[in-house]
Amino acid sequence: MAKIMAINAGSSSLKFKLYEMPQEQVLTSGIVEKIGHDDAIFTLKHQGEKINKILSIKDHAEAVKLMLDELINNHIISSYDEIKATGHRIVQGGKYFKHSEIFNEDVEAKIESLIPLAPLHNAAHLIGYRAFKKILPNIGAVAVFDTAFHMTMQEEDYIFPIPYEYSEKYDIRRYGAHGTSHHYLALESKKYLSDVKHPKIITCHIGSGASISAIKDYQCVATSMGLTPLGGIMMGTRTGDLDPSVMKYCCYCENKSAEEMFQIFNKKSGLLGVSGVSNDSRDVLSALENGNKRAILAYKLFIRRICDFIGQYYVRLGGCDLIVFSAGIGENSPETRTMIIEQIKDALHVEIDEKLNSSLRGKEGLISTSNSQIKVAVIPTDEEVMIARDTYNLLLKGN
């Protein structure tokens, strides 16, 4: 038995989940937010209770120390030594990483070299990793990459049709994202596919960030996000795929730089931009119910983009045995699932049981009928357990 911490570090936040491995038992979880501020927020979830503190935290190292001290104060661990390893989510692994790796100087340098491809994320992940290394210098750490699961794609699935020398010189390609989630969903899908020889799965990770993957024999063959998480389907605040001339023309009309427009396409577009209401699907859905025309259009567009990708991946896979819905919207919004199935049902001969569908919010289960030619399941995703598993397997298993 060993305690392992799965970590997702952002530029001003640090999310953590402590596991007892290999049992995969969650001992506690929490988040430190607004790091670098006098009113930073520390939240710890333990035995059904939530502990909240507001205090000054100057940097990530201080956040790590505070978090570990709180684990001791709450009798979750008795000393720092009880933590045997840490696993870190890394958004961009570039061309280097096809699976998780134990941190060393080379791994650290490669993650650093990829900062231009994921400026906010990779830089923050390294800050988090270095903070843990400072406070817990004697334990191993593992990097778990969001892009690794997608590295099995074929060239024609990941190369963009730009001058090929750009792709070569600058490593421009579809890297995708949410790979750890799509991988988890693929593994969890096995129980629904025991009678299928070469399973074909379409996983729909639909949260505020959203992506869809086509998976054959439990390996990724295509995914919707692109060079960065801006590509693919429309999202809470991101455009998803666009004709590049939209970017150029918007810059010209609004007299804005490419960088300014890139920020707008990342942070002010998608459901928020089209509806003018919110980036949160719940707000857009309730505005839609009240007849708000732009909310109706935004949601129609959102659903259409999802269905376009499902159709594309059905063809790419040569059929489909299982469609999986996951993440904030996919897990919790039966209305959204209904709207999607409604649009693909005639072409793909897929049917869901509305009673089963409406009963599933944040819980796992099949929602398709026995007549459906494709099974449909809701599976809550769990990226943290994948981080804990890889960390345990690479550093502690067999020791």
Active site residues: 146
Of the listed pieces 82-90, 135-143, 289-297, 321-329, which binds ligand AMP according to CB under 6 A? 321-329
Say if CB 363 and CB 347 are below 8 A apart: no
Residue 280 interacts with ligand AMP (CB under 6 A): yes or no: yes
Distance (Å, rounded) from C-alpha 318 to C-alpha 215?
11
Smallest distance, Å, CB 373 to ligand AMP? 28
**Which residue(s) pair with 205 in the sheet?**
211, 326
Closest CA to 228 of 236, 239, 218: 239
User: In angstroms, rounded to a whole number, what is the distance separating the alpha carbons of residues 235 and 176?
Assistant: 14
Count interface residues toward ligand AMP (CB under 6 A).
Answer: 13
| Cβ closest to ligand AMP, residue 348 vs residue 360 | 360
Q: What stretches of 22-75 adopt beta strand conformation (E)? A: 25-33, 40-46, 49-55
The smaller minimum CB distance to ligand AMP, of residues 53 and 282, is found at 282
CB of 166 to ligand AMP, least distance (A): 32
Contact between 275 and ligand AMP (CB under 6 A)?
Answer: no
- Span near ligand AMP by CB under 6 A; candidates 96-104, 158-166, 274-282, 302-310: 274-282
DSSP 107-121: HHHHHHHTGGGSHHH
Strand partners, 4: 19, 85
Q: Which residues pair with 373 in a beta bridge?
A: none
Cβ 271 to ligand AMP shortest distance, Å: 7
Q: Contacts with ligand AMP in 58-97 (CB under 6 A)?
A: none
- 3-state DSSP assignment of residue 164: helix
Minimum distance from CB of 375 to ligand AMP (Å)? Answer: 22
Q: Taking contact as CB under 6 A, which single stretch among the options 81-89, 192-200, 223-231, 325-333 is the one that binds ligand AMP?
A: 325-333
Query: What is the nearest approach in angstroms of ligand AMP to the Cβ of residue 180?
Result: 13
| CB of 17 or CB of 110, closer to ligand AMP | 17
- Rounded distance between C-alpha atoms, residue 236 and residue 266, angstroms: 9
Choose the binding region for ligand AMP from 211-219, 238-246, 275-283, 385-393 (rule: CB under 6 A). 275-283
Alpha-carbon distance of 147 to 381, in angstroms, equals: 16
Which positions from 361 through 380 interact with ligand AMP, judged by CB under 6 A? 361
Q: Measuring CA to CA, which residue among 148, 13, 26 is closest to residue 76? A: 26
CB of 33 to ligand AMP, least distance (A): 15
Identify residues 123-162 at the interface with ligand AMP (CB under 6 A). Answer: none
- CA dihedral (301, 307, 313, 318) positive or negative: negative
Report the residue number, 237 or 343, with the smaller CB distance to ligand AMP: 237
Of 53, 58, 282, 293, the one binding ligand AMP by CB under 6 A: 282
Distance CA 318, CA 326 (A): 23
Q: Which of residues 189-248 bind ligand AMP (CB under 6 A)?
A: 207-209, 236
For ligand AMP, the nearest residue by Cβ is 328
Q: Which two tokens stand for residue 36?
A: 């670098």
Closest CA to 147 of 120, 192, 183: 183
Nearer to ligand AMP, 244 or 362 (CB): 362
- The answer to whether 13 touches 138, Cβ cutoff 8 Å, is no
Min. distance of Cβ 194 from ligand AMP in angstroms?
Answer: 28
Check residue 168 and report its DSSP letter. Answer: H
**Contact flag: residue 281 with ligand AMP (CB under 6 A):** yes
The residues, ordered by sequence, that sit 6+ positions from 206 with a Cβ below 8 Å of its Cβ are 233, 306, 325, 326, 327, 328, 329, 330, 336
- Report, in Å, the least distance between residue 204 CB and ligand AMP: 12
Rg of the chain's alpha carbons, rounded to an integer? 21
Q: Which is nearer to ligand AMP, 157 or 280 (CB)?
A: 280
Q: Which is nearer to ligand AMP, 332 or 372 (CB)?
A: 332
The single residue listed with the structure tokens 């939240």 is 43
Whichever of 357 and 372 has its CB closer to ligand AMP, that residue is 357
**Contact present, 181 and 193 (Cβ < 8 Å):** no
- Contact map string, positions 326 to 345, toward ligand AMP, x by CB under 6 A: -xxx--xx------------
Q: Which residues bind ligand AMP (CB under 6 A)?
A: 207-209, 236, 280-282, 327-329, 332-333, 361
